[in-house]
Chain A
Amino acid sequence: MSEKTMDPSISRRSFLKQGAASAVTIAATALPTVASAGESQQLATLIDIEKCVGCGACVEACREKNQENYPRVKKPFPKMIPKRAKPEDWSDKQEIIHRLTPYNWLFVQTTRVMVDGRERELNIPRRCMHCINPPCVKLCPWGAARQFPNGISRIDPDICLGGSKCKAVCPWKIPQRQSGVGLYLDIMPSMAGNGVMYKCDRCYDRIEKGGEPACIEACPEGVQTLGPRDEIIKLARERARQINGFVYGDTENGGTNTIYLSPVPFETLNKSMEQGPGRPDFEPKKDAMAHGNNLVTAMAIAPFAGAMAALGKFYMFTKKSDTKEG
């Protein structure tokens, strides 16, 4: 990964000081960093559900590593206008580890299912899927979320306004909001924004330095395997064939960089496990960005079609005048 494409995010202070003008200047200088990288450059994780014993070491490691990244809240929260926009506060519930919160970016879902005729407990580490084409990044109206060429998506806490659109468009509703923190406090705290959204950033800083995500490093069972996406997909399918198992995440939402391997169908897992806010499902997911992206060809053709129509009209007009004159 080149340093050029992993340039640091704009700091909140500089963003506010220089405003849009600075952003435009940055854009001009940063334009060469617009990069197209295929899926082959993306890193994926294989999560072998059967191996997980539910010890929670990964959750602990994630919490320890990200302590410094967790929201530091200013209270009281701004009075919201209108009242419908309610502040969300997890700052007094930081100990919660059985779901995703702004203070818990990874949790272990536990469920009981029948495997080969006997009941078994399965433990499933859950966090952001790091989609190949992440709607949370692409549809953020503020440019606060970004995707690195290695497939990691990250929400910049210095730019995020906490409008929660990323959560609304995420097929698994992963990002979680904490109010009383972030840029909105410095702009129009009552009228726009409501905090910052938080989720797993796949330890992008560690990976950048050639290291491993904290959760992978801490796992005593080697549940997660990190590697180039095509290799991980190959490995997942091979293992699935060997154990007569099932794969999830390879095609969901157009493909993700988190591939689950399960001994039972994901439909069965999905039915048996507890779901709800902060507890994502295992439903099949269509490619959320495809509907718009399928119109890109029409967009490319449209100006030519318009031009042709004008030329046709001009031709008819001149022909008509010729006939009249003739």
Chain B
Amino acid sequence: MGVKKIVSTVLTFLPGITIAMLAVTGFAQMPIFKRYYIADIPGFGWLAKFYVTHYMHYLLAVVLLAFLGHRSVSWFLGRKRGAGTVWTTKIKRLILAGLVATGMMLVVRNLPGYHFSPGVLVALDLTHLGLTVLLMVTGVVSVVVSRIIPDQNNKSV
């Protein structure tokens, strides 16, 4: 496999891997991986380290935002338009937009000097979590749909 091919394979899977890792590091913000022994599995200890997963979540968000910037311009210029706009893909895009919006607000919340009222705090956390679960469900649905109707071109984002 040539370097070009490797790069293009990585680029194809990068968005999917980034989103999956964002979900994992996001879930790791809840104290569940230690409680449920997942962090005990050799190589998974980092899942119980809140500051490590928090930092990773931020780093992955940087990658995702760069990718979304790239995708949006490509779409605007017409290079990626047309293919992959089945209903599940449209829903996934909407959910992703919601995740980015709530995620950005949470990033602002984490800066010194920003105070959110309790309703906003709970709503943001719940919405961010709920949208992640929804994205996962939609992902599964879109795989099933693409199996049933194989000619549908389902893109991951």
Residue numbers of A with Cβ under 8 A of B are 5, 7, 9-10, 15, 20, 23-24, 26-27, 29-31, 33-39, 82, 84-85, 132-133, 138-144, 146-149, 156, 159, 163-165, 168-169, 192, 254, 288-289, 291-293, 295-296, 298-299, 302-307, 309-311, 313-314, 317
Contact = CB atoms under 8 A, between A and B. Distances in A.
Nearest to B129: A141
Given A168-B31, A169-B50, A307 B72 contact: yes
Given A295-B58, A306-B65, 19 more contacts: A10-B118, A10-B119, A20-B126, A23-B127, A24-B126, A24-B127, A27-B122, A30-B119, A133-B113, A139-B54, A141-B125, A142-B30, A146-B117, A291-B51, A302-B65, A306-B67, A310-B70, A313-B74, A314-B77
A31 B105 CA distance: 11
A141 B29 contact: yes
Given A9-B118, A142-B125, A302 B50 contact: no
Contact of B30 (A132, A141, A254, A296): A141
A82 B35 contact: yes
B115 to A, nearest CB: 5
21 contacts: A9-B118, A10-B119, A20-B126, A26-B123, A33-B117, A35-B114, A85-B35, A139-B54, A141-B30, A291-B51, A292-B110, A303-B69, A305-B69, A306-B69, A307-B69, A309-B66, A309-B70, A310-B74, A310-B77, A314-B77, A314-B79
Interface in B54-94: 54-55, 57-59, 61-63, 65-74, 77, 79
A123 B2 CA distance: 70
Given A299-B61, A302-B69, A303-B65, A139 B118 contact: no
B74 A314 contact: yes
A7 B117 contact: yes
B125 A143 contact: yes
Contacts of B74: 310, 313-314
The residue in B66, B74, B77 that gathers the most chain A C-beta atoms within 10 A of its C-beta is B66
B120 A7 contact: no
The residue in B29, B74, B115 that gathers the most chain A C-beta atoms within 10 A of its C-beta is B115
Interface of B: 29-32, 34-37, 50-51, 54-55, 57-59, 61-63, 65-74, 77, 79, 107, 109-127, 129-130
A299 B61 CA distance: 7
Contact of A302 (B62, B79, B124): B62
B57 to A, nearest CB: 8
Nearest to B125: A143
B36 to A, nearest CB: 7
B112 A295 contact: no
B120 A299 contact: no
A306 B73 contact: yes
Main secondary structure of the interface of B (DSSP, over half): helix
B20 to A, nearest CB: 19
Contact of A142 (B71, B79, B110, B122): B122
B62 A298 contact: yes
3 tightest A-B CB contacts, nearest first: A306-B69, A26-B119, A27-B123
Given A23-B126, A148-B115, A33 B35 contact: no
Contacts of B109: 138
B114 A293 contact: no
Nearest to A28: B123
Contact of B115 (A20, A23, A146, A192): A146
Nearest to A132: B112
Given A291-B51, A314-B74, A296 B113 contact: no
Nearest to B79: A314
B35 to A, nearest CB: 5
A135 to B, nearest CB: 8
A132 B112 CA distance: 7
